[in-house]
Amino acid sequence: MTLFKKVASFYRFANISSSLVLSRSLTTSTPLLFQFTPCLLAEPLKKKKRIDPAILKAREERRKKKLERQIRRLEKNTKQYKPIDECEVPLALLDEKTKRQREITLSPEILDKRVLLEQKWCSYKREQHLSDLKILDRLLFAQQYALDELRKESETLYQQAIQIDSFLIPYKSNGPTDTPPIENYDQPDGEYQDISKKWE
């Protein structure tokens, strides 16, 4: 007995209309349990509408312009840094700026002295900078001269001399600090609450 005959006799027995017999049947683990799925009738594909190439080109241009505008907007925001609350002046202090300003009147002699002192300081720092540059140039010239002379003597020694010293990279130095440690200081063991803002 074929599967179709079994299904037909089952429907006759259950007094189900014959229109449902046309639906697909699937057997599960045992042949007595049937599952019925509706027949899905196919439909021919719709014809694609032909669009004017000028309209398609205009759409592409609009899409490109929109993307360029978004890129320009993002590039403008890249130069903005994340605000640091600790470095910003509170608005209350900005409002009280006129109240907090002191009225100081300096005599012309004091102003001239300050200008002359600033000029002397600038010339002193310039001379100091130029002397430092001269010392560096002299040292670099002496170093290059020594390397050239070493290369004339031995190429292997020269290659070893220009190698990077790996022991100089993890450099540590201990020296006097601005605020030396307090003797017998009992460090408090309190709770730390991080209230800094999270930026994404």
Confidence of residue 185 (pLDDT cuts 50, 70, 90): confident
Domain coordinates of the chain in residue numbers?
Answer: 3-37, 107-162
Average pLDDT score over the chain: 80
Contact 66, 73 (CB under 8 A): no
Q: Residue-wise over 51-88: b if at least 16 C-beta within 10 A, else e?
A: eeeeeeeeeeeeeeeeeeeeeeeeeeeeeeeeeeeeee
What amino acid occupies position 45?
L
Answer yes or no: is pLDDT of 146 > 50: yes
Separation CA 142–CA 135 (nearest Å): 11
36 - beta bridge partners? 25
pLDDT tens figures, 99-132: 888 888 889 999 999 999 999 999 999 999 999 9
> What does the alpha-carbon distance between residue 16 and residue 177 come to, in Å, rounded to a whole number?
98
In the predicted model, is pLDDT for residue 97 greater than 90? no
pTM > 0.85: yes or no: no
**Could you tell me the pLDDT band of residue 64, with boundaries at 50, 70 and 90?**
very high
